[in-house]
Amino acid sequence: MKTNTAYQEKTKEELLEIIAQQSQHIDSLTEILRIYRQRQFGNKSEKLSAEQLGIFNEAELPKNAEAIAEADNEIHIAAHSRVKAVGRKPLPSHLPREQRIHDLPENEKICACGNALNHIKDETSEQLEIIPAKIYVIQHVRKKYACKHCEETIKTAPMPAQPIPRSIAAPGLLSHVLVSKFQDHLPLHRQEQMLRRIGIDIPRSTLCLWVIRSAKLLEPMMKIIHQLLNRRKVLRMMF
């Protein structure tokens, strides 16, 4: 019996690895097809050049950067043009602020005449900062109780319902994997590499299994969406 179970587990892992490899191959072919369609059917101004199909360094400024900047500062209206107002758009007010106060050293708060300098105002400027995805471990501690009198009753607090039972993936992690793959077009092998960079080793086969099981969970919602779409006389889709 144990031999059969071990064989089944090994077969399951092999199948998951094959599925993960096929998923990676499909992602690569999909990207190649997208580029081909863009080159074949896109507008002339939108067709990709040979250089664009290679590795593009976004951090490198173009040779005519100054001309582009000057052109960007002008708004063309009919037969004349006017210069844009100089200045950046303010950062969104709803974002939280973290104040970092920069003060002069005590020995620089003395004037050349020998008197102490007085604080008159603050110069304030803002920068936009980002914190990478926060990853942490949820420890589920289930309280267990027993009767000391009869020594027969033992009760343990139940585990909250999970999307995938006995899985290490919390709901937030599953959502992140799905959104990254289907909304941001980030293949599972790249997600595997990103997780590995921060010390978390989750193979593609496991990520693939999470995607498949999550799809099963979303089937009821997909059926409802399908029913709503079938009620429409006209559907519009964008690729």
Q: What is the pLDDT of residues 207-236, one digit of tens each?
A: 999 999 999 999 999 999 999 988 888 887
Residue 41 has pLDDT above 80, yes or no: no
Strand partners, 145: 155
Residue 104 has pLDDT above 80, yes or no: yes
Confidence of residue 173 (pLDDT cuts 50, 70, 90): very high
Q: Look at residue 29 in the predicted model and tell me its pLDDT.
A: 83
In whole angstroms, how far apart are CA 156 and each of 13, 160, 167, 168?
A: 33, 12, 20, 20
The CB density around residue 121, as the number of other CB atoms within 10 Å, is 5
Q: Look at residue 87 in the predicted model and tell me its pLDDT.
A: 64
Q: Mean pLDDT over all residues of the chain?
A: 80
Q: Look at residue 19 in the predicted model and tell me its pLDDT.
A: 85
Contacts of 91 (CB under 8 A, 6+ apart): 126, 128
As given in the structure block, the two tokens for residue 46 are: 């939108």
Handedness of CA 35, 36, 40, 41 (dihedral sign): negative
Residue 137 has pLDDT above 90, yes or no: yes
Residue 33 has pLDDT above 90, yes or no: no
pLDDT: which is higher, 141 or 54: 141
Q: How far apart are CA 52 and CA 20, in angstroms?
A: 29
Residue 81 has pLDDT above 60, yes or no: no
Residue 52 has pLDDT above 90, yes or no: no
Residue 49 has pLDDT above 60, yes or no: no
